[in-house]
Homo-oligomer: A and B are copies of this chain.
Amino acid sequence: MPRQLHLNAFLMNTGHHEASWRLPESDPYAHVSLAHYVNLARVAERGTFDSLFLADGPQLWNNLAQRPAGALEPLTLLTALATATEHIGLIATASTSYNSPYNLARKFASLDIISGGRAGWNIVTTAGAEAARNFGLDAEPAHAERYARAAEFLDVALKLWDSWEDDAIVADKAAGVWGDDAKIHPPRHAGTYFSVQGALNVPRTPQGYPLLVQAGSSEDGKGFAARYAEAVFTAQQTIEDARAFYADLKARTAAAGRDPEHIKVLPGIVPVIGSTEAEARAAEQVLEDHIVHTHGVGRLESLLQLPSGTLELDSELPSDLPPEDAIEGAKSRYTLVVELARRERLTVRQLIGRLGGGRGHLTFAGTPEQVADAIETWFTQGAADGFNIMPPVLPSGLDAFVDHVVPILRARGLLRTEYGPRRTLRERYGLPRPANQYVSTPATGTPALV
């Protein structure tokens, strides 16, 4: 069997294109519709995707005038989807900057148990002052500090998830002994950002802990990924950049003493699918025609950390933008956008059009064959272990992908044709169940909760 492609469905209300909600087919209340998400999850499961993914930030991301704002909180929504699906992984974004390790570790452990081992955590540090101001801070913590806190957060969370050995439950009714307290290991952690004494109040879960996913591509972000991440979402505009990123991340992971096979790299792709190339381009044009460009200016100024009113729609970006080093927000996205604009000499209006589809992710318009070819090329040429599929319009874009691209990928032997027996998310991604850091010789036999 050839190496298998991993597919993740990145779900976002009416789709990733910012104007998608304006299409006649779109439900403007999709962002709070359980039925909408249940349908999407089932379509993705029909396409034998590895997982679903929801982005998140603890703030109202944009003005209401512009496009759908607000969302169901990802862990909550994915828990509801756990009971509506059987096989697919459930990856929720949650911030290390604005959560407590004890609370978050419990929630992911609970979801992992409820879903039978299908939980994943997209670990983000959350850029921006708006989120900070919802949590008692005046300003965004510095980028390096956010990542330092993230690393300590992970250390604590891993201790909590390992705080029960797999076989801590004895269940000896006759003797009146339910569990073995010697198999409980309170973290007793006292660090720079956190002090957490006690064991988790959830047993060790089917996966041990959720699949750890990471999505920041700055230097610090890549360092963090090499140390902790098992899957990485990334935005890449060209195959050259993607190959360089892929090789770099695998090398860093090896340098961190880990098996580079144990980190899966998943670039995002926004597939605009038509039965002919012309049809795909026309669909792209319809979406672009629905963009309100003036709305995009403010968002671009905020990403580039420019004062409001700096950018002009029909000019290029200013030539004196600061280097990535000077950016405290989303560093790698900043560089990607600036390089895209410079490389193609785009005006602000054109840049907004280009970002409208996927906020920096690669938009690829074509026939199902062409989309499958692009995926196969990146996959076989060292640029990807799989893809983050980001349909521009939902649900139709996911339907189109599953109905027309998936069969081609299957015919080429790149994608499973069925799920087979139930597996954990980590098993789907070809990753081992992590050992418990407190156990030198793992228990024999199957752990009770697996």
Contacts and interface: CB of A to CB of B under 8 A. Distances in A.
Contact of A83 (B83, B98, B195, B201): B83
A178 B102 contact: no
Interface of A: 19, 21-24, 26, 28-29, 32, 34, 57-61, 63-73, 75-77, 79-80, 82-84, 98-100, 102-103, 106-107, 109-111, 113-114, 130, 133-137, 164, 168-171, 173, 176-181, 183-184, 194-203, 290, 292, 448-449
Contacts of A199: 60
Interface centre among A24, A76, A107, A181, by most B CB within 10 Å? A76
**Interface SS of chain A: helix, strand, loop or mixed?**
loop
A180 B68 CA distance: 11
Contacts of A60: 184, 198-201
Contacts of A177: 65
Given A69-B179, A113-B72, A102 B168 contact: no
Copies of this chain, count: 2
A100 B135 contact: yes
Given A60-B199, A79-B79, A136 B194 contact: yes
24 contacts: A19-B176, A21-B178, A23-B173, A26-B173, A28-B178, A29-B448, A32-B203, A34-B83, A64-B178, A64-B181, A65-B180, A65-B181, A67-B178, A68-B179, A69-B178, A69-B179, A70-B164, A70-B201, A72-B114, A76-B114, A80-B80, A134-B197, A136-B195, A176-B292
B59 A198 contact: yes
Given A61-B201, A201-B69, A103 B114 contact: no
Contacts of A69: 178-179, 201
B77 A80 contact: no
Task: Give the 7 A-B CB pairs with smallest separation, nearest first.
Answer: A64-B179, A28-B171, A133-B197, A76-B110, A79-B79, A73-B110, A72-B110
Contact of A135 (B102, B184, B201): B102
A292 to B, nearest CB: 5
B102 A100 contact: no
Nearest to A70: B201
A68 B32 contact: no
Contacts of A195: 133, 136-137
Nearest to A138: B195
A14 to B, nearest CB: 10
A137 B58 CA distance: 24
A393 to B, nearest CB: 13
